[in-house]
Structure 1
Amino acid sequence: MAQVLEFKLPDLGEGLTEAEIVRWMVEVGDVVAVDQPVVEVETAKAMVEVPCPYGGVVTARFGEEGAELPVGAPLLTVAVGEPAESAGPAGATGATGPAGPAGPAGSTDGAGAARSAGEQPARGSGAGGEGAGEAKGSGNVLVGYGTSEAPARRRRVRPQRTASAAPARAGRTNGRTNGRVRSAEPADGPVPVISPLVRRLARQNGLDLRELTGSGPDGLILRADVEYALRAAAARGGTTAAHEAAAAPHPAGQLRAPAPALVGGQPPAEVRTPLKGVRGAVADKLSRSRREIPDATCWVDADATELMRARAAMNAAGGPKISLVALLARICTAALARFPELNSTVDTEAGEIVRFGHVHLGFAAQTDRGLVVPVVRDAHARDAEELTAEFARLTEAARAGRLTPGELTGGTFTLNNYGVFGVDGSTPIINHPEAAMLGVGRIVPKPWVHEGELAARQVVQLSLTFDHRVCDGGTAGGFLRYVADCVEQPAVLLRTL
Structure 2
Amino acid sequence: MGEHIIKLPDVGEGVAEAELVEWHVKIGDIVREDTVLAAVMTDKATVEIPSPVDGEILWLGAEIGDTVAIGSPIVRLKVAGEGNVKPQGGDVEAVAAEPPAKLPTPKPETAAPAAKAPPKAGGTDVKPAPAVSKSPQQPSVPGAPRPEGEKPLASPAVRLRAKEAGIDLRQVSGTGPAGRIGHEDIDAFLARGPQVARTSGLARNDAVEDIKVVGLRRKIAEKMTLSKSRIPHITYVEEIDVTALEDLRAALNKEKRAGKAERPKLTLLPFLMRAMVKAISDQPNLNSLFDDEAGVIHQHGGIHIGIAAQTPSGLVVPVVKHAEARDIWECGAEVIRLAEAAKSGTATRDELSGSTITITSLGAMGGVATTPVINHPEVAIIGVNKMMVRPVWDGTQFIPRKMMNLSSSFDHRVIDGWDAAVFIQRIKTLLETPALIFVD
Query: How would you bin the TM-score normalised by the shorter chain?
Result: 0.5 to 0.7
Structure 1 contact 428–437 (Cα < 8 Å) conserved: yes
Please say if residues 363 and 373 of structure 1, whose CA atoms lie closer than 8 Å, have aligned partners that are also in contact: yes
Q: Could you tell me which of 62, 66, 74 is aligned with 2:60? A: 62
2:288 aligned with 1:288:
no
Deviation of residue 30 (structure 1)? 4.5
Indicate how the Cα distance of structure 1 residues 154 and 265 shifts in structure 2: closer, same or farther if over 3 A, else same.
Answer: closer
| Distance in structure 1 (CA, Å) of the matches to 2:16 and 2:44 | 8
Distance 1:492 1:57, change over 3 A: same
Q: 2: distance between equivalents of 1:413 and 1:31?
A: 45
- Letter of the 1:99 partner, please give it: K
1:395 matched to 2:339? The reply is yes
Deviations 1:326-345 (A, max 9, x none): 22222222222221111102
Q: Which has the higher Rg, Structure 1 or Structure 2? A: 2
Q: 2:203 aligns to what SS in structure 1?
A: coil
Matched, 1:50 2:49: yes
User: Structure 2 regions of 5+ residues with no counterpart?
Assistant: 97-199, 257-261
Is the CA contact 1:19–1:44 (under 8 Å) kept in the aligned structure 2?
no
**Structure 1, unaligned runs of 5 or more:** 78-94, 101-107, 112-124, 126-131, 133-151, 159-261
Name the CA distance, whole Å, in 2 between partners of 1:480 and 1:415: 13
Task: Give me the whole-angstrom Cα distance separating, in 1, the residues matched to 2:246 and 2:437.
Answer: 14
Amino acid at match of 2:275: I
| Partner SS state of residue 327, structure 1 | helix
Alpha carbons 1:24, 1:65 under 8 Å: kept: no
TM-score (norm 1): 0.58
Q: CA deviation at 1:482?
A: 1.0
**What is the Cα deviation at residue 75 of structure 1?**
4.3
- Match of 1:74? 72
CA-CA distance at 1:74 after TM superposition: 2.4
Superposed displacement of residue 301, structure 1: 0.9
Q: Judge which range, 281-290 or 445-454, deviates more.
A: 445-454
Contact 1:303–1:460 (CA under 8 A) maintained in structure 2: yes
Q: 1:186-205 residue pairs with structure 2 within 5 A?
A: none
Among 327, 348, 357, which residue is 2:301 paired with? 357
Residue of structure 2 aligned with 1:99, choices 75, 78, 101? 78
Contact 1:438 1:462 in 2 (8 A): yes
Task: Check conservation: 1:364, 1:416, Cα contact below 8 A.
Answer: yes
Q: Deviations over 1:61-107 (max 9, x none)?
A: 53367352423252456xxxxxxxxxxxxxxxxx3xx623xxxxxxx
- Measure, in 2, the Cα distance between the counterparts of 1:75 and 1:391: 40
Distance in 2, Cα, partners of 1:414 & 1:18: 27
Aligned-pair Cα RMSD in Å: 3.5
Q: Which residue of 2 aligns with 1:168?
A: none
Do structure 1's residue 19 and structure 2's residue 23 form an aligned pair? no
2:397, 2:232 → 1: CA distance? 41
Q: Helix, strand or coil for the counterpart of 2:401? A: strand
Pairwise CA distance, 1:483: 0.7
The aligned counterpart of 2:7 is 7
How is 1:189-338 mapped onto 2 (pairs within 5 angstroms)? 265-318=203-256, 319-320=262-263, 321-338=265-282
- Structure 1 residues 392 and 43, CA gap change in structure 2 (3 angstroms): same
1:32 match: secondary structure: coil
Counterpart residue number, 1:463: 407
Could you report, residue by residue, the CA deviation over 1:426-484 in whole angstroms, capped at 9, with x for unpaired residues?
11111111100011111110011347542100001112211122232232111101111
In structure 1, the partner of 2:439 is: 495
- Residue pair 1:440, 1:461 contacting (<8 A) in 2 also: yes
2:233/2:410 contact within 8 Å kept: yes
Q: Give the drift of 1:315.
A: 0.4
Residues 1:354 and 1:58: Cα distance change in structure 2 (over 3 Å) = farther
Structure 2: distance between partners of 1:365 and 1:488: 25
What is the distance in 2 between the residues matched to 1:312 and 1:376? 23
Q: Classify 1:369/1:436 alpha carbon distance in 2 versus 1 (closer, same or farther; 3 Å).
A: same
Q: In the alignment, which residue of structure 1 is the partner of 2:39?
A: 40
Q: What is the rounded CA distance, in whole Å, between the counterparts of 2:95 and 2:359 in structure 1?
A: 56
> Which region of structure 1 is more displaced relative to structure 2, 282-291 or 305-314?
282-291
Percent sequence identity over aligned pairs: 31
Q: How many residues align?
A: 327
